[in-house]
Amino acid sequence: MKVGLFIPCYMDQFYPQAAIATYKLLLKLGCDVAYPEGQTCCGQPLANAGNEAASRGSYLHFVTMFEKYDYIVAPSGSCVYHVRHHFDTLDQTDAVKKVRAQTLDLTEFLLDVLQISSLPAKYPHKVGLHQSCHGLRGLHLATSSELVNKPANSKLHELLSMVEGLTLVELDRKDECCGFGGTFSVKEPAISVKMGKDRIRDHFSKGAEVITAGDMSCLMHLEGIISRQNIPIKVIHIAEILNADEI
């Protein structure tokens, strides 16, 4: 299979190490992976700001860049959700339908397509897992705590359990929002920061050395609060842990 790697624009600019880890991990697992250099944004920021019509050019460009691949993999649940659910505003050509159906979050690609059961990764640290909202309630990468009589599962948890030496801490509120929400953090900064502080406190109080997630946008928000509060805890994208060799 041919895999096209999509890297969100903010990750390309601010967190290239997470993008590189994703690429190296896919190669390590035997994928024929390519990074189309002409790729840009999936169009999510404009759409979330209420101007989805202006995102049409980004949508069409995304389809053009990735339609030739069997799968499009991204280390970002929010971008994947946007492609799968917002590209319905385009004319549903065969190319658009294919791209929408075959765009996957990294974690679901590893477990549902590659069906991996082990990883050659080592990361001897105590880690807190943040379940990002788009991945949790949009892509159903984990079971939401408000759902009753549903077996608990989490693709991110399952993958992290394959990493040698890693200890996952048990949080009080496993799937609470970090408060980022894209433009929400700009329009409602006080609420956004308070929510972020609550999430950090939960992780830190349980002894986590590191907070990880499948969305770097959530981690970026938390990292900003951590740096201002001088809290001794790090953030790192899950791809970096899954690709790690005893950091």
pLDDT mean by block of 10 residues, the chain; 247 residues: 95 96 97 97 90 94 98 97 96 98 98 97 97 94 82 91 97 93 89 97 98 97 96 98 84
What's the CATH architecture for 2-113?
3-Layer(aba) Sandwich (3.40)
The angle formed by the CA atoms of residues 75, 80 and 81, to the nearest 5 degrees, is 135
- Cα-based distances in Å from 172 to 17, 65, 95, 128: 30, 42, 44, 11
pTM for the full model?
Answer: 0.94
Model pLDDT, residue 246: 60
The strands making up 71-74's β-sheet, listed across from edge to edge, are 32-34, 2-5, 71-74, 103-105
Q: Cβ of 93: how many Cβ atoms within 10 Å?
A: 11
The burial of 8, by beta-carbon neighbours within 10 Å (0-12 exposed, 13-18 middle, 19 or more buried), is given as: buried
- Domain 2-113 and domain 126-242, same fold? Reply is yes
Cβ atoms of residues 99 and 67 within 8 Å: yes
User: For residues 143 and 64, what is the distance between their CA atoms, to the nearest angstrom?
Assistant: 34
The token duo for 36 is 């189309």
State how far the Cα of 170 lies from the Cα of 137, in Å rounded to an integer: 20
- Dihedral angle computed from the Cα positions of residues 164, 170, 174 and 177, in that order, rounded to the nearest 10 degrees: -80
pLDDT of residue 148: 74
- List the one residue out of 6, 23, 141, 139 whose CA is nearest residue 69: 6
Task: List the domain boundaries for the chain.
Answer: 2-113, 126-242
Instruction: Choose among 111, 47, 128, 119: nearest CA to 73.
Output: 111
CATH class of 126-242: alpha beta
